[in-house]
Amino acid sequence: MFMSESKEKRIKKLKKKHIWPSIVGLVVILCIFCAVMISALGLSGMDIVQGKLADSSRTSVKIAELFADYDLGAEEKVEQTVLSHIDILEEIEAVSVVDMDRMPVWASNGEYPAIDETITIEFLSELMEEEIRVILTEDAEQVFFIEDGELAVNERILKELFSVSEWRAATPFTQLKLWLVVPVNGLEVMVLNNVSLYHQDFLMMGICVLLCGILIGIFVIYYLISIISMVSSVRKTAKIIYTDMVTGGDNWLLFIRKGTNLLKKNGRARRKYAMVHLEMRKYRSFCTCFGVNKGQELIEKFYVALKKEMERKEVIAHQENAEFGLLLVYTDKAQLEERIQRLENVLSAVLPGMKVYFGVGVYFVQPGEYDVEQLYNNAMIACEMLGEEAENKTAFFDVEMNNQKLWERKVEDDMDHALANREFQVYLQPKISTSEEVLGGAEALVRWIHPTEGFIPPNRFIPIFEKNGFILKLDDYMLEEIARIQAEWLAEGRKLVPISVNVSRAHFTREDLAEHICAIVDKYQVPHSMIELELTESAFFDDKKVLLNTVQKLRIAGFPVSMDDFGAGYSSLNSLKELQIDVLKIDADFFRGADVEERGLLIVSEVIDLAKKLNMKIVAEGIESREQVDFLTEQECDLIQGYFYSKPMPVAEFAQKYGE
């Protein structure tokens, strides 16, 4: 399973979706909120204290104004008035008066503070429109205090204000005591103010703080839920990314990741690893018989069974269909083979009573190799070399397998260019009539003359073309070449003989094949009877309806149709019954082997007799001896093809040898 670079980058980006930015953002927001709240508390608290101080200042000024007539003989009256005010006003504790020379004049309690230690409070002076000086008392630590003429707040105590468990309305939680100095008529009137702060003074501010706290709490909870949801989403996404939809276990992406990590951590090769490709043979046939759902259930059971057999530092994943990748630890080849056999037995036990077969490809991982996909590809190459035999087999990757794959790659890279440059050459092998031993026909065979590789025999490229579908283009090319050659010979006045051209079974997937063939041949106006169309009997086991319909159309159009390789392994008398053909080619295998003198020749004799009764011509191919020729002549075989008469030859040589 190849993963594109762009897809891999998107997955990595998704996996690395961090939650740290969200957490940092939450911390920053909380810090900003706390700072804002503390500042707001301080400012609001100072506004309250400033209001209290302003009230005390007004009261102090009014008391000071009582001393305006003090030196006019109204001393006793003023003193009594001031004392009555002190008794009534809780915020006024004492009043002291000195003259301009700082000499004592009168004091309600006999105290005269040191007037030299006065300071000026700006906002009070601005409020009263005259200089109001203050003498600070040495009291306990206060929530609010005056420093350098400015009102300041003790944030620590202010925070404690809102952490008390019980608020009492009658008892102040703090007091700010200070002397306000007011100059009146040559006197310095000093009024001792006790600015008391009560909890209820901060009630509204407390409610606002509480509401803000609730809001920020809701916000924090929502933010935390979002972060938790993000974490959960990332985990769920990662689980989806790395979960196989069929088995529910690790998928191929996680196999690559885990496998790469294991191999990289095994730097000194403390363990020996083998990459294994294991596949169930004929899985598609199983799905055809029991259904796709049953097939997927079987894959899941296989995965569970294999997972139980995995040891520490080993990984497994479902690849596709009934194929699995395993990265196994092993000690030596014999031990690994025994373990693979044990795994096959475990899988066979999943389907008791049903015989299943497995193909296994193995690649021994070398130190320093970390590309899991390439390693697995090597194991797959080894398994592909086993073919499709219905039996348990294990193949170990070697260099020759890789060379074969490289060759296939080269063939596929060059094939289109070769077709365009006419590197595929037509060779003709004659078919000799047994009655007169004269030319009765020929078979068109393809040879590849490569500019660098030279002569390439068909067995080195035809199987590759059949697998990748290029055989369709090559067959059309060969058909057109034969039609062109026949047209040239016809124009030269030569006597034409039927030339057979192979039609691969892959063509019979199209319903308009007959029309397609006619269109190619009719471009050269060659008689259809001079081009024989060969098909293998294996085509009968594809879409039978399309095959029968196409053959009927071709025969109506005048093309003789032959069945090639009769007796090569797929032979069925039923195919002869249903498929109306003109020529039957007997496979050369009938003439080889120890029993050729008895059973083989008997079968050939009977096949020829049967074909004659069905009005078919008989062509025997692969004939290499005079004895075989004599036997076939005696059996009234129509045509003989083989090395006894001639190997395939280029068209020019064929025309020179058999031209008339």
pLDDT, tens digit (0-9, with 9 covering 90-100), for 148-183: 556 565 555 555 555 544 445 556 666 677 788 888
Tokens for 42?
């301080």
Mode of pairing for the β-strands spanning 358-364 and 424-433: unpaired
**Can you give the pLDDT at residue 367?**
85
Q: Which of 212, 240, 268 is the last residue of a domain?
A: 212
Q: Tell me if 242 is assigned to some domain.
A: no
- Tell me the mean pLDDT in the region 112-140: 62
| Main-chain dihedrals φ then ψ at residue 189, nearest 5 degrees | -90, 120
Specify the CATH number for the domain of residue 367.
Answer: 3.30.70.270
pLDDT digits (tens, 9 = 90+) for 581-602: 899 888 777 766 555 556 777 8
Cα(209)–Cα(214) distance, integer angstroms: 9
* 548 and 497 within one domain: yes
Residues 634 and 620 sit within 8 Å (Cβ to Cβ): no
Cα 73–75–80 angle (5° rounding)? 140
* 474 and 514 within one domain: yes
Q: Tell me if 359 is assigned to some domain.
A: yes
Q: Which residue has the higher pLDDT, 11 or 346?
A: 346
- Tell me the mean pLDDT in the region 132-136: 64
Dihedral angle of Cα 371, 373, 374, 380, to the nearest 10 degrees:
150
pLDDT digits (tens, 9 = 90+) for 30-77: 777 766 666 666 566 667 777 777 777 788 888 888 888 777 677 888
Cα(333)–Cα(475) distance, integer angstroms: 45
Residues 474 and 565 sit within 8 Å (Cβ to Cβ): no
Residue 620 has pLDDT above 70, yes or no: yes
Start-end of H helices in 66-110? 75-88
* 447 and 378 within one domain: no
Q: Which residue has the higher pLDDT, 281 or 143?
A: 281
**Can you give the pLDDT at residue 2?**
43
Q: Tell me if 10 is assigned to some domain.
A: no
Residue 127 has pLDDT above 60, yes or no: no
Concatenating the DSSP letter of every residue in 236-283 gives HHHHHHTB-TTTSSB-HHHHHHHHHHHHHH-TT-SSEEEEEEEEETTH
pLDDT digits (tens, 9 = 90+) for 533-551: 998 766 665 667 888 888 8
Concatenating the DSSP letter of every residue in 398-465 gives -HHHHHHHHHHHHHHHHHHHHHHTT-EEEEEEEEEETTT-SEEEEEEEEEEEETTTEEE-GGGTHHHH
Tokens for 487?
């047209």
Domains in the chain, number? 3
Cα(447)–Cα(457) distance, integer angstroms: 6
Cα(532)–Cα(585) distance, integer angstroms: 12
Q: Which of 371, 397, 423 is the last residue of a domain?
A: 397
**Can you give the pLDDT at residue 1?**
44
* 365 and 310 within one domain: yes
* 471 and 538 within one domain: yes
Tokens for 156?
């620590």
Which band of pLDDT confidence, cut at 50, 70 and 90, is reported for residue 111? confident
Sequence-distant (6+) residues with CB within 8 A of 222 are: none
Dihedral angle of Cα 71, 75, 80, 86, to the nearest 10 degrees:
40
Element (H, E) at 92: strand 92-99
* 466 and 380 within one domain: no
Residue type, 107: A
Q: Tell me if 224 is assigned to some domain.
A: no
Specify the CATH number for the domain of residue 592.
Answer: 3.20.20.450
* 424 and 351 within one domain: no
**Can you give the pLDDT at residue 140?**
46
Structural domain span for residue 420: 413-658
* In the block, residue with structure tokens 């149709």: 561
Residue 431 has pLDDT above 90, yes or no: yes
**Can you give the pLDDT at residue 7?**
46
How far lies 567's CA from each of 570, 576, 604, 611, 629, in Å? 7, 12, 10, 13, 19
Q: Tell me if 406 is assigned to some domain.
A: no
**Can you give the pLDDT at residue 203?**
66
Mode of pairing for the β-strands spanning 617-621 and 583-586: parallel
Q: Tell me if 228 is assigned to some domain.
A: no
**Can you give the pLDDT at residue 202?**
64
Among candidate residues 42, 202, 191, the one with its CA nearest the CA of residue 128: 191
Lowest mean pLDDT among 10-19, 298-307, 385-394, 455-464: 10-19
* 127 and 40 within one domain: yes
How buried is residue 413: exposed, middle or buried, by Cβ count under 10 Å (0-12/13-18/19+)? exposed
Sequence-distant (6+) residues with CB within 8 A of 630 are: none
* 434 and 342 within one domain: no
* 207 and 89 within one domain: yes
pLDDT digits (tens, 9 = 90+) for 370-400: 889 989 988 988 888 777 665 678 888 876 7
Q: Which residue has the higher pLDDT, 539 or 603?
A: 603
**Can you give the pLDDT at residue 484?**
95
Which percentage of the chain shows pLDDT scores above 90?
29
pLDDT digits (tens, 9 = 90+) for 192-241: 887 777 766 666 666 776 777 788 778 778 777 877 776 676 666 666 77
Among candidate residues 511, 522, 607, 523, the one with its CA nearest the CA of residue 551: 511
pLDDT digits (tens, 9 = 90+) for 239-296: 677 888 888 888 888 899 999 999 988 867 688 999 999 999 888 888 888 888 988 9
- Name the maximum alpha-carbon separation found in the chain: 173
Tokens for 339?
């373990």
Q: Which of 372, 397, 422 is the last residue of a domain?
A: 397
Distance of CA 509 to the CA centre of its chain: 35
**Can you give the pLDDT at residue 204?**
67
Which percentage of the chain shows pLDDT scores above 70?
76
Q: Tell me if 217 is assigned to some domain.
A: no
Cα(641)–Cα(647) distance, integer angstroms: 9
Among candidate residues 557, 457, 458, the one with its CA nearest the CA of residue 517: 557
Q: Tell me if 81 is assigned to some domain.
A: yes
Among candidate residues 465, 453, 480, 492, the one with its CA nearest the CA of residue 408: 465
Residue 17 has pLDDT above 60, yes or no: no
* 590 and 620 within one domain: yes
CB-hemisphere CA count at 13 Å for 487? 13
How buried is residue 462: exposed, middle or buried, by Cβ count under 10 Å (0-12/13-18/19+)? middle
* 652 and 573 within one domain: yes
